[in-house]
Structure 1
Amino acid sequence: MFAQDYRVEHIGVEKGLSQGSPYHMLKDSRGFMWFGTQDGLNRYDGHSFRVYKPDPNNPYTLHGVNIAGIVEDRRGNIWLGTEEGLNCYERSTEHFTLIVDKKHAGIKKRTAPFYADQDELWYIREGEGMLAYHFKTKTHRVIAPEVFITQDFDYIDWTTRTPAGDVWMVGDKGVVRYNIKEKKYHYYFSQSPKNELGTPLNIICLYVDAKNTVWLGSLNGVIRIDNTYTTFQFFDNSAEGQPIGAVYSIAEGINQKLWIGTQRNGFWILNPAKLTLQPLSLPLVTPRKLDNYEITRIYVDNRGIVWANVDPDGLLKVIPNASVLRKITDSPDSPDERRLDNFSVRCFAQSPDGNVWVGTEGSLNVYQPKNRTIIKRYLTKAAMPTIPSLNFIKSLLRDSHNRMWLGTYGGIMYFDPKVEKFTLFQFDKNPSRNNYTRNITELSDSLFLLGTPQGPWIFNVQKATFSRPPMLKNRNVFSVFQSKDSTIWVSSYFDGLYGYRYRNNQWKQVYYGMKYFNINVIREDTIRRKLWVGTEKGLLELNP
């Protein structure tokens, strides 16, 4: 469905997940997703899983199987809790170590880590309270004796430390805020005689946003506690009066809207700015409809991808604002204005009016993001049946004068927006050879460098003439690019990467490397001053 804004994928045990209830999730600094289930720890690289479980014959394996809490420290090590205690996965050795307090050696108790800084790891432990483990001294200290952790097999920990200096926990009834500086407990919706707000309620989950507003999931909807902790507001229905029911998980998306997971009522979106609550419709990819699941955990990673536990059938991966073009091509029944006529997309460029030009192997499509439609098509087979090479588009360039240029199998083309016509320029007049223009980069306001199978060519825009630069003649050039420092980068077929400086009509080679690589694309990270180089062996970062 074209109006759909989400790409959805179901990931279950059939794809390698060790068990269908991943209650704890983390994306680490290396880009791996970690999932803690009731039957082991899972590391996911986007394609396959690596599962970690105990092995009685190997002391360096995981201790315990029911994961509660996953945290990464500043050194990249992964800390997790199980029914046996606190585990540390040391990334450099790939060994697990059970971290034992000497005072309680040999005693197995459920443990859940929730925070790490440069010096300490904070965790809660059944019967002992909230503790901190010091990395250097390898000692444990009690921060607060009263915590709320159960022996339930389905235990899900929501303990959160905030930048404001509080630790929030879900209690037997209500929630508890522990102020670290004051060493004082504050109770909300609790049965405690010290309760400060609301009547006793069963709270299932909590989330504290960047404004220190607290969002609670209850059996009958979402509760918002303001950042002064003195007032609250209930959200239990949509604008149309549809009840949300029991709320099992809350997480914030990259657009600051809250994702809400429910008990057998699917996903909902809460807009904190407008204070509105609406159900979310997603494509059916799970074994059962979403209103058959308890969505017990939602995690949003740094790219905005939403990972949710659809208990007991594993994971749902939701990509908001997914590629529109993929959605267009996925639906052959879509109307023409929402469909590419050729799915081999070779290049993109944004025109001055904000539209996106899409070059394919059969036409040029002008896509309007606002209305999500193809508003123009050029160089189609119907329009150019006798010159098919001109509608095989390999590159697009919007130059410094906002003019649009195309590199095609038949040469370089200029588009005149006033009359909507193309002008063709060819560097080789020999009819036995083509004018395949693979890449275009702008050297100055009047000179372009072209990458072709016959080597690089210079195109003088003002004079409409071509000339050969004094290098790489007849080499099959795959990519040309000019970085911010004016270095001109050229790659040829399995012949490495060349760097040149062009000044006063003189070329000077300043770099050569990556021999035996086939380099297809070169782009620059202008902030870090690195080059990204796409090759047949993968993506490389180059510090020239």
Structure 2
Amino acid sequence: MNLILKILFLLLVYSVSFSQNSNKIHFKNISVKEGLSFPAINCILQDKNGFMWVGTEVGLNKYNSQRFNTFYNNPADSTSISNDNISSLFQDSRQNIWVGTLTGLNIYNHKNSSFRKFQEKALNTKKIVAIAGNIGSKVWALTHEELVCINQKFNIEQQLKLNSLSTETGLTAWSAAKFDKKGNLWLSTNKGVRLFDPKAKKLTNPLNDQINITITTVDFYSNIYFDSIGNLWVGLRGNGVKYYSFIEKKWTFIDGISSKYINGIYEDGDKNIWICTGRNGLNIYNPKTHKVEIIKYAEMPESNLMSNSISCIYGDSKGGIWLGTFNSGLLYYYQHQLKFNLYYSKGQISGISSNYITSFANDKRNNVWIGVGEEGLLYFDRQKRSFKKVNPNVKKFKTVAELKENFYILSLHLSKDEKHLFVGTLTGLFDYDIVSNKWYFYQNNRFVSGHLQGGYINSMVSDGL
């Protein structure tokens, strides 16, 4: 093996993008070919161990970023999940995974990867449309007709029918439940957002929210979401999205979104609100400018938004954003992912004379000295995004050919004061005095005291003196 490992580098000068512009968003698609059980997604959850749980219309999936472990109903196995159609997911304060299905509620047993089915009639025959819990040990499950409270021993503590909680005319359906930071339970109904009063066992309307959705089917979509400053966001099928400010004590509708059929709301790390629609793509609302960016697959294929029919949205603990779709599986976006700019040799356009990159030295301004093997030395100005060829001026070498023969760069080292750039080559060491723009060459001569004892300068390090 040669002393010099000839490794071909493509120069990647990276920049981290924190902008939320739609033209910088690119999703990774994760679907059936990666092992997902079915491309229609109903719900997403990340557990405390970092695993992603994905509920589809055909199977529950546990994802470790490499592969899926899938769970199905098996009529012959009493420990299997109650139904393949997963409607809701929740993890409680004791790290139990609660799984709502089309026909009942389940709890996942981590030790043996099995499920405990609830046998009570209220929880084993009906669709679980939502599951909610707060810091305490109680969990609330929502069916289309009832609100069911389950205690720490997994026993039903309360079973409240919708018509017993409210006498409000026309209030006939609910489909979302969410606790706020104060421990209040909010419910989204076809008449608006209602607060559950646990003492009186009644629904109240403290936000004076009045809408009128005529329910022709119990499967209407609605969402409740609390942002980082405590605003309550609501999305309803056919009625768009709005939020309530507890500080200003008023509702505000968001105009300019692509569709009024809302399936998900989420606040990203830049405080932008993502609004997912079931028919017309993704909307990103900027609360500072009050502008909405719309992302649709047909109009913006570079985003890799594989479907405009988005069913749900979820933000993980590392800042990743997951979208579920009705027909294309999962879409994943990491907000602070590294974005690379690629520079390569293509004549005079890029300024790089070769793709054979042997060494780098970075200065305090983040500009880069680049060794390009036999093609010499380049200086990259990051702000201008331009390359400059730096030619050594050493009187010892009489011709360009002689200089090139001795200026095959193997390594670079920039002094701490950034006044000297040391260039290691096949035949010796060059010292470039950057301030005076002068070059010095130290040639190998192992027979002379004080000279370099070898010609191959593969690496250099400063001793701090």
TM-score, length-scaled by structure 1: 0.61
Unaligned stretches of 5+ residues in structure 2: 1-16, 166-172, 215-220, 392-399, 445-449
Aligned: 1:142 with 2:158: yes
Q: Which residue of 2 aligns with 1:460?
A: 463
Larger radius of gyration: 2
Rounded Cα–Cα distance in structure 1 between residues aligned with 2:174 and 2:211: 23
Distance 1:389 1:344, change over 3 A: closer
Deviation at 1:276, TM superposition (A): 2.4
Distance 1:233 1:128 in 2: 30
User: Which letter maps to 1:234?
Assistant: F
Give the CA RMSD over aligned residues. Answer: 4.7
What pairs up with 1:309-320 in 2 under 5 angstroms?
309-320=324-335
The answer as to 2:212 corresponding to 1:200 is yes
On the 8 A contact 1:6/1:321 being kept in 2, the answer is: no
2:233 to 201, 207, 215: 215
SS at match of 2:87: coil
Q: What amino acid sits opposite 2:322 in the alignment?
A: W
Query: How far 1:281 sits from its partner (Å)?
Result: 6.3
Which runs of structure 2 are paired with 1:315-334 in the superposition (5 Å)?
315-325=330-340, 328=342
The one-letter code matched in structure 2 to 1:284 is: P
Secondary structure of the residue aligned to 1:324 is strand
Residue in 2 that maps onto 1:236: 255
Equivalent in the alignment of 2:151: 133
Map of 1:430 onto structure 2: 453
Q: What does residue 466 of structure 1 align with?
A: none
Q: How does 1:149-228 map to 2 (within 5 A)?
A: 158-179=176-197, 184-187=202-205, 196-201=208-213, 204-218=222-236, 219-227=238-246
The one of the two structures with greater contact order (alpha-carbon pairs below 8 A, sep at least 6) is 2
How many aligned residue pairs are there? 408
Partner of 1:295: 310
Is the 2:138–2:149 contact (alpha carbons within 8 Å) kept by the matching residues of 1? no
Do residues 73 (structure 1) and 96 (structure 2) align?
no
Unaligned runs of at least 5 residues, structure 1: 149-154, 189-194, 438-449, 451-458, 463-544
The percentage of counterpart residues that share the same residue type is 21
Given the superposition, is the C-alpha separation of residues 107 and 389 from structure 1 closer, same or farther in structure 2, using an over 3 Å criterion? same
What one-letter code is carried by the residue in structure 1 that aligns with 2:234?
A: L
| Matched residue, 2:127 | 110
CA distance in 1, matches of 2:404, 2:30: 46
1:14 aligns to 2:25 (yes or no): no
Question: Map of 1:520-535 to 2, 5 A cutoff?
Answer: none
- Asked if the contact 1:328–1:340 (Cα under 8 Å) also holds between the matched residues in 2, the reply is no
* 8 A contact 1:248–1:294 mirrored in 2: no
Shift, 1:288, TM fit: 8.5
Change (3 A) 1:113 1:406: farther
Look up the SS of the partner of 1:7 in the other structure: coil
What is the CA deviation profile of residues 415-460 of structure 1, one whole-angstrom value per residue up to 9, with x for unaligned ones? 87656889899999333654335xxxxxxxxxxxx5xxxxxxxx43
Per the TM alignment, residue 82 of structure 1 is displaced from its structure 2 partner at its CA by: 1.2
CA gap of 1:272–1:177, structure 2 versus 1, over 3 A, is farther
CA distance in structure 1 between the partners assigned to 2:69 and 2:353 by the alignment: 38
1:197 shift after superposition: 3.0
8 Å contact 1:245–1:265 — kept in the other structure?
no
**Is the contact between residue 329 and residue 340 of structure 1 (CA under 8 Å) also seen in structure 2?**
no
Q: How far off is 1:298 after superposition?
A: 1.4
- Matched residues in 2 for 1:116 and 1:422: separation? 70
TM-score (normalizing by structure 2): 0.70
Counterpart pick for 1:31 among 43, 47, 50: 50
1:493 is matched with none
**Distance change (3 Å), C-alpha of 1:321 and 1:342:** farther
Match of 1:121 among 120, 139, 163: 139
Match of 1:86 among 86, 105, 110: 105
- SS of 1:23's partner is strand
Q: 1:215 to 1:430 in 2, by over 3 A?
A: same
Change (3 A) 1:308 1:436: same
Letter of the structure 2 residue corresponding to residue 139 of structure 1: N
Which residue in the other structure is 2:321 paired with?
A: 306
